Structure 1
Amino acid sequence: MNQNVLFNFIPLILMFVIFYFFLIKPQKKKANEINEMRENLKVGDKVITIGGIIGKIILVKEDYLVLETSSDNTKIEIMKWGINGTYNKNTDLRDTEEE
């Protein structure tokens, strides 16, 4: 009887392992890459926000930064978690979250 119960749990354990390697692990890796990118932002970097605003970083603090968004020197304070990726006009977007 104990072996029968064990064989009933094998498909459940197998499903968990498959979910871990195909869904959970890649998502954690992507989140770590995005957090690393946000921690390595520096003054002068061009970034794009989650809302689609493109700007140049002019001040970096611990949990927020200040963006200059246009030639009129419009400045916006934004939390670091609101940065989606870096922006480069020559190569369009890079380091951004992909769906």
Structure 2
Amino acid sequence: MLISPAYAQAAGGADGGSALLTFLPLILIFVVFYFLLIRPQQKRQKEHKAMVQSLSRGDRVVTAGGIYGTIARVISDTEVDLEIADGVKVRMLRGTVQEIVGRNEPVERGAKTRGKKKDEAEEEEA
């Protein structure tokens, strides 16, 4: 006989370590994606949410569209009035604020410094 008979081979997969080695590249890719893509994006989202929640009247901001303005009024948890020019106010979503350019300084209630610069008021008090 010139042709040898073909016999069935023993069933594979009895070795448990080969299954782990099969999935190891997939696990490593997921770990790399997590540390290079997913985790930094979650951190940025958390920082943006905190920044949006801390918006207050008088803050100078930049919107997602690139418009600079000053927050004239906080309407609700989701909306603010943005003054983009003298007398021109736009109602917009808080989430569209990209960055705070300048913070306002809180004004003390009942202070007699109305209409005066901060330095002049400090000199007068001293």
- Interval containing the TM-score (normalised by the shorter chain): 0.7 to 0.9
What corresponds to 2:84 in structure 1?
69
Query: What number of residue pairs does the alignment pair up?
Result: 87
- Which is greater in Rg? 2
Q: Is the aligned partner of 1:34 residue 2:31?
A: no
**Which has more strand, going by share of residues?**
1
Q: Which has the higher contact order (CA 8 A, sep 6+)?
A: 1
For structure 2, the 5+ residue unaligned runs are 1-14, 103-126
User: What are the superposed Cα offsets for residues 47-91 of structure 1, whole Å, 9 maximum, x if unpaired?
Assistant: 1110111110011121100011112x1000000111111124xxx
What corresponds to 2:97 in structure 1?
83
Q: How far apart in 2 are the matches of 1:83 and 1:52?
A: 9
Indicate the SS of the match to 1:41: coil
Q: How far apart in 1 are the matches of 2:82 and 2:35?
A: 38
What corresponds to 2:27 in structure 1?
13
Q: How far apart in 1 are the matches of 2:18 and 2:65?
A: 54
**TM-score when normalising by structure 2:** 0.66
Give the CA RMSD over aligned residues. Answer: 1.0
Q: How far apart in 2 are the matches of 1:53 and 1:2?
A: 60
For structure 1, the 5+ residue unaligned runs are 89-99
Q: How far apart in 2 are the matches of 1:52 and 1:4?
A: 54
Q: How far apart in 2 are the matches of 1:41 and 1:28?
A: 20
**Runs of 4 or more above 3 Å deviation:** none
